[in-house]
Amino acid sequence: MIVREKRIQRDIMLHLRGMGAWVFNVHGNPYQQVGVPDLLVGYQGRLYALEVKRPGGRLSPVQTKVIEEIRAAGCIAARVESVEEVDKLLQNGGADEDRR
The parent domain of residue 13 ranges over: 5-91
* Residue 98 maps to a domain: no
Overall domain count for the chain: 1
Q: Tell me, what's the pLDDT at 98?
A: 55
Q: What is the mean pLDDT of residues 71-83?
A: 96
Give per-residue pLDDT as tens, 5-53: 999 999 999 999 999 999 999 987 888 889 999 999 999 999 999 999 9
Share of the chain above pLDDT 70, in %: 93
User: Please, are residues 33 and 27 in contact by the beta-carbon 8 Å criterion?
Assistant: no
Q: How much is the pTM?
A: 0.89
Q: Where do the DSSP E strands lie in 26-89?
A: 39-43, 46-52, 76-80
Do the domain assignments include residue 19? yes
Q: What is the CATH number of the domain that holds 85?
A: 3.40.1350.10
